[in-house]
């Protein structure tokens, strides 16, 4: 088996949107996985607050090829508006075959920067309840117990994607 599982949580302070951090495999320097939570489009059934985390956010569990990964710049998308961190987070982690790698909690502070912290005491019971296979799979930790890395990713660059508006014209 040459794949592993990457797990963790993403939490945020602003309301709504899709919050994500790409992880690039250092071997081939390509985007391999996206650690994300939320939805870029608001809809009435969108999950915003996670009752188990007791805040806005969600858990993630993503299958990834074995290797070393580098977390890129954070990204927020809220409808046509987007925000990007001006620098990569720069945090590296290793995915080991047949293991679950806990990367920690990625916390978005406003639309300004990201904190990466160990929240394993809170996160692991929630992750194990949602993804039962985690309980019986060997665990690897990408972040040391009690670690909190603050103000990662630089300030925000932002923009807006214009969505074309189609107006139907009925021929005479």
Domain ranges of the chain: 3-160
pTM across the whole model: 0.87
Contact status, residue 2 vs residue 68, Cβ threshold 8 Å: no
pLDDT at position 167: 67
Buried b (16+ CB within 10 A) or exposed e, 131-161: beebeeeeebbbbeeeeeeeebbbebeeeee
Best-predicted range by mean pLDDT (1-15, 32-46, 150-164):
1-15
Q: What's the pLDDT tens digit per position in 9-28?
A: 999 987 778 999 999 998 87
Q: What's the pLDDT tens digit per position in 66-116?
A: 999 999 999 999 888 888 999 999 999 999 999 999 999 999 998 889 999
What is the token pair recorded at 26? 């250092």
Q: Scanning the structure block, which residue is given the tokens 């047949």?
A: 98
């Amino acid at each position: 088996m040459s794949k592993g599982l990457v797990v963790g949580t993403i939490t945020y302070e602003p309301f709504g949107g899709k919050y994500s951090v790409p992880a690039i495999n250092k071997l081939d320097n390509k985007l391999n996985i996206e650690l994300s939570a939320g939805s870029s489009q608001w809809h009435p059934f969108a999950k915003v607050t996670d009752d188990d985390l007791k805040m806005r956010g969600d858990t993630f569990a993503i299958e990834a090829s074995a290797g070393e990964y580098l977390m890129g710049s954070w990204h927020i998308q809220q409808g046509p508006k987007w925000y990007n961190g001006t620098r990569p987070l720069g945090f590296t982690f290793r995915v080991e075959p047949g293991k679950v790698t806990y990367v920690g909690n990625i916390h978005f502070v406003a639309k300004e920067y990201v904190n990466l912290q160990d929240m394993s005491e809170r996160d692991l019971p929630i992750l194990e309840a949602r993804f039962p296979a985690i309980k019986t799979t060997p665990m690897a930790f990408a972040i040391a117990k009690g670690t909190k890395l603050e103000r990662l990713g630089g300030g925000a660059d932002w923009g807006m994607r214009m969505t074309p508006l189609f107006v139907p014209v009925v021929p005479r």
